[in-house]
Amino acid sequence: MRVALYITCLNDTLYPQTGQSVVTLLRRLGCDVAFPAAQTCCGQMHFNSGYRPAATRLARRVRRQVAGFDAVVTPSPSCAGMMRDQYPVLGVRQETPVYELSEFLVDVLGVVDVGAVFPHRVSYHPTCHSLRGLRVGDRPLRLLRAVSGLELAELPAADSCCGFGGTFAVKNAAVSTAMLADKVAAVHAARPEVLCALDNSCLMQIGGGLSRAGSAVRVMHLADILAAR
């Protein structure tokens, strides 16, 4: 299976480790992974901020880059949602199927146990776009439960938004920070060593809050846990 990895602009710049983990994981599971080198951004920031002509141009770029692959895999539910649900709104017909990582592992490859070893106490934060956008359900939790040595610590009010929301985080910084404070308190109540999610954008918010609060809790993308041995 020829898979195009869509890394996302945020991961490319700030979290390249997650991209490397996705490559390691998919190759381990027998996929032929390619990285279309001309890729940049899916256009979500422009779309969600109201700049539709620019978003449309970026969407067309993505369509060109992933044409001919069997699947697009991306370690970001909100970018996957953009490509799957919003491109049609922009009139861009992109036909290569797009999967968020946990969907691809569970639904396409049919794997739950990827052979990972991660002997730590982990809480899982379901990001809004994975939970209510893509509706990934319990796929990420099934993957985490199969990780050897991993202990799951339930996060209180897990389905509450962390307050990131893209440009919302700076346009409405005060509200975003208030939402973050509650999320940080919930993480502390769960007492994990690691907070895991499917999207590094939300983890940038939560991790930024945890770090500012002097917390020892680390944030990790699901891919980074699943690639660990």
Partner 1 sequence: MTIPTGRGVVWLDTPPFPEAARRALADDQLRANLRQATTTIRDKRLRVTGELSDWEQLRAAGAAIKADVGRHLDRYLVQLEESVTRAGGIVHWARDADEATGIAGDLIEAAGAREVVKVKSMVTQEIDLNTALAARGIAAYETDLAELIVQLGDDRPSHILVPAIHRNRTEIRDIFTANMARNGRPAPDGLTDEPAALAEAARLHLREKFLTAGVAISGANFAIADTGTIVVVESEGNGRMCLTLPDSLITIMGIEKVLPTFADLEVFLQLLPRSSTGERMNPYTSLWTGVTPGDGPQNFHLILLDNGRTATLADPVGRQALACIRCSACLNVCPVYERTGGHAYGSVYPGPIGAVLTPQLVGVEHAATLPFASTLCGACYDACPVKINIPEVLTHLRAKVVEHKRLPTFEAGAMAAAAALFSAPRLLGLAEWLAARGGRLVARGGRIRSLPFARAWTGSRDLPAPALPSFRSWWRRQQ
- Contact residues for partner 1, defined by CB under 8 A: 7, 9, 11-17, 19-20, 23, 35, 37-41, 43, 45-52, 54, 57-58, 61, 86, 89, 128-129, 131-133, 159-161, 163-180, 204-205, 207-209, 211-212
Nearer to partner 1, 93 or 170 (CB): 170
Q: What is the DSSP letter of 223?
A: H
Under 8 Å between Cβ of 74 and 44: no
The two three-digit tokens of residue 12, written as one number = 């490319």
CB of 100 to partner 1, least distance (A): 15
Q: How far is the CB of 160 from partner 1 (least distance, A)?
A: 6
The answer to whether the beta carbons of residues 37 and 67 sit under 8 Å apart is: no
CB of 157 to partner 1, least distance (A): 9
Whole-angstrom Cα distance, residue 61 to residue 63?
5
Q: 71-74 and 98-100 as β-strands: parallel, antiparallel, unpaired? A: parallel
Shortest distance (Å) from residue 145 CB to partner 1:
25
> Closer CB to partner 1, residue 47 or residue 124?
47
Alpha carbon distance 4, 65 (integer Å): 9
- Residue closer to partner 1 by CB (options 88, 119) is 88
